[in-house]
Amino acid sequence: MSYQVLARKWRPQKFEDVLGQELVTRTLQNAIRSGRVAHAFLFSGVRGVGKTTTARILAKALNCEKGPTPEPCGVCVSCNEIAAGNSIDVLEIDAASNRGIDNIRELRENVRYLTARDRFKIFIIDEAHMLSNDAFNALLKTLEEPPPHVKFILATTEHHKIPPTITSRCQQFDFKAIPFSLILSRLQSIAIEEGVEVSDYALRSMVSTAQGSMRDAQSLLDQTIAFCGKRISDADARALLGVADETLVVGLLDAVINKDRKKIVELMEQAQDGGIDAQNLCRRVIAHIRNLLVFRATAGEEKLFHLSDFEKEQTARQSSHFSEVDLIRFYDLLNRTENELRWNSHPFIHLEMALVKTVELARLPELEKIIDEFRKGGESDASRITPARAVTSSPPPSRKIPVNAPESKSAVVSDDVVRLPPFSERLLELAQKEALPLFSNLQHAQNISCWDGKVKIVFSSSDKIYHSLLSGADARQQLGNLCAKIVGTLPEIEIVVQDISVAPSKRNPVDDPKVKFFVEEFPGKIVVDPNIEDP
């Protein structure tokens, strides 16, 4: 007898065996009990969560010799044929390879004929989103008013690609990703039944890699058994799956806490030498960041975690070193990085740079605090944490400079309060929400101004690196798009480096570099108040 893979061998045959989809299975069972079974269903959800399996069980429930019944017997001819996939009256159609209008016309002809033996003729259309537009249009009328003996079950991983005209004619069920604990419990049961000794870490690694897909988890277990035999150790799982050890993930976050960029590079080098997959490592770091955030938000409520004792201890320790804003910033950056790794030609370098960026993100203050400090006239967190954080070239708040300048062009200094100009403030807010790396660079600007369709960003000579980072084509385009959201049109962008250093205390105020800068920006008359002492 030929070998049958675990995913097929352990496929659920009854509604109660379908894990993680209780809402769907209970609704279908109640519909059968009450005789309110729809003529068309749409099952949507990620891969490997039970869509096709549930469709087959529903077909068995409707055509079972004892049915229609919410609990198919599983032993009658109809149940056995449906389970084996060779029933004459239950037709499974792969829309990926049968997507044309001619295939649907053939289906419509088939609908007209009565069943060969069973109660209903059931069409299961898998990957239904692959049908062409013409095929969908040809299916509309039949799907809306099929003969009484016909049922349709459409399954798809991409619900958004199904036309509304189709979805409106179906009873829709959304299949969720299966919870970690349920997949882990299922793999443990399968391992026991198969006589396989597998470590807890190895099982957890498989479940984590499967990302909510029961079929993927079972396939990984199958693959690992083929590689290792009946005994699977932690090292075997790391070698085969390319997963990151929890000590590596914890070590990377410790390096961020200690602002140790060298350690991050060393750990990434070790990961690459160890054959760890960059995308998997990124996912593990993201998951750890999520755990840190949840730990802070819930005071360590254990039911929300699926962690080993070591991971729980490290999560509790590390969570105290980051604010929730820090962790959200990390998540946003690494989530984008994980998507970019799929097509990046140097995935480890790309991930390494993203992790180094998290060191900088951890040093950034919250934008609201910066603005609040400016409004209060006090020293902002930005100026205490990193140099050159202020976004204007205004003098210290204790000085009053009666320069008549439009508020939209630079900071307003009055009554000992420094206020960010509306444009600068809105640009930073947008960048923080939509382009965090851009926001990180803009934080080092000395001045950001917008006037007459032109945006000017000024960096001091000590921050030339940020001028270079923003001068690239991609960064300029992204910056232009953000500015356009504020001013309504795509402005001209000028990014310059100017040495705006603090001048000596005894000088003519008119010669102050900051005053000169304001004069260049805002032509007008300079009035020097003799009652104001030099700082």
The CATH number linked to 505 is 3.30.300.180
Q: What is the DSSP letter of 90?
A: E
What is the pLDDT averaged over residues 341-356?
A: 89
Q: Which long-range contacts (CB under 8 A, 24 or more apart) does 333-338 make?
A: 333/357, 333/358, 333/361, 333/436, 333/437, 334/282, 334/285, 334/286, 334/289, 334/358, 335/286, 337/282, 338/279, 338/282, 338/283, 338/286
What is the pLDDT averaged over residues 42-53?
A: 93
Residues 184 and 333 in one domain: no
Residues 47 and 166 in one domain: yes
Contact 257, 321 (CB under 8 A): yes
Contact 194, 225 (CB under 8 A): yes
* DSSP per residue, 145-195: S--TTEEEEEEES-GGGS-HHHHTTSEEEEEPPPPHHHHHHHHHHHHHHTT
Residues 258 and 297 in one domain: yes
User: If you average pLDDT over every residue of the chain, what do you get?
Assistant: 81
pLDDT of residue 98 exceeding 50: yes
User: 125-134, 352-361, 419-428: which range is least confident on average?
Assistant: 419-428
Give residue 185's domain range.
180-241
Cα first-last separation, the chain: 91
Out of 324, 348, 363, pick the residue that ends a domain.
363
pLDDT of residue 379 exceeding 60: no
Please name the amino acid found at residue 330: F
**Percentage, residues of the chain above pLDDT 70:** 80
Q: What does the pLDDT read at residue 311?
A: 78
Residues 486, 356: Cα–Cα separation, whole Å: 31
282's CB contacts (< 8 A; 6+ apart) are 334, 337, 338, 341, 351, 354
Confidence of residue 405 (pLDDT cuts 50, 70, 90): very low
pLDDT of residue 413 exceeding 60: no
CATH of the domain at 359: 1.20.272.10
Residues 27, 58: Cα–Cα separation, whole Å: 11
Q: What does the pLDDT read at residue 33?
A: 93
Out of 241, 266, 294, pick the residue that ends a domain.
241
Residues 171 and 186 in one domain: no
Residues 511 and 436 in one domain: yes
Residues 521, 3: Cα–Cα separation, whole Å: 78
In a domain, 383, yes or no: yes
CATH of the domain at 189: 1.10.8.60
User: 329-338, 380-389, 461-470: which range is least confident on average?
Assistant: 380-389
Q: What does the pLDDT read at residue 375?
A: 63
Higher-confidence residue of 22 and 2: namely 22
Residue with structure tokens 């056995």?
Answer: 80
Burial of 71-104, coded b for 16+ CB within 10 Å and e otherwise, reads bbbeebebbebbbeeebebbebbebeebbebebb
Residues 207 and 353 in one domain: no
CA 335 to chain centre: 5
Out of 363, 383, 405, pick the residue that ends a domain.
363
- Of the candidates 482, 484, 480, 508, the one whose C-alpha atom is nearest the C-alpha of residue 493 is 480
Contact 285, 251 (CB under 8 A): no
Give the number of other CB atoms < 10 A from CB of residue 473: 7
Residues 265 and 410 in one domain: no
pLDDT of residue 236 exceeding 60: yes
Structural domain tally of the chain?
A: 4
In a domain, 529, yes or no: no
Residues 43 and 107 in one domain: yes
Count of alpha carbons within 13 angstroms of residue 428, beta-carbon side:
28
In a domain, 227, yes or no: yes
Q: What does the pLDDT read at residue 296?
A: 85
User: 128-137, 158-167, 447-456: which range is least confident on average?
Assistant: 447-456
In a domain, 148, yes or no: yes
In a domain, 528, yes or no: no
In a domain, 535, yes or no: no
Counts of helices then strands in the chain (DSSP H, E): 24, 12
Q: What does the pLDDT read at residue 52?
A: 94
Give the number of other CB atoms < 10 A from CB of residue 312: 15
DSSP H or E run through 203: helix 200-210
Residues 116 and 128 in one domain: yes
Confidence of residue 213 (pLDDT cuts 50, 70, 90): very high
In a domain, 532, yes or no: no
In a domain, 63, yes or no: yes
220's CB contacts (< 8 A; 6+ apart) are 206, 209, 210, 241
pLDDT of residue 383 exceeding 50: no
pLDDT of residue 303 exceeding 80: no
Is this structure's pTM higher than 0.85?
A: no
Give the number of other CB atoms < 10 A from CB of residue 509: 16
Residues 324 and 390 in one domain: no
pLDDT of residue 283 exceeding 60: yes
Residues 62, 89: Cα–Cα separation, whole Å: 11
Q: What does the pLDDT read at residue 192?
A: 93
Condensed to tens digits (0 to 9), the pLDDT of residues 437-495 reads 788 788 888 888 887 778 888 888 877 778 888 888 888 888 888 888 887 778 888 88
Confidence of residue 507 (pLDDT cuts 50, 70, 90): low
Residues 162 and 273 in one domain: no
Contact 152, 181 (CB under 8 A): no
User: 302-306, 371-375, 423-427: which range is least confident on average?
Assistant: 371-375
Residues 436 and 452 in one domain: yes
Condensed to tens digits (0 to 9), the pLDDT of residues 53-81 reads 999 999 999 999 987 999 999 899 999 99
Residue 145 phi/psi, 5-degree rounding, is -135, 70
CATH of the domain at 32: 3.40.50.300
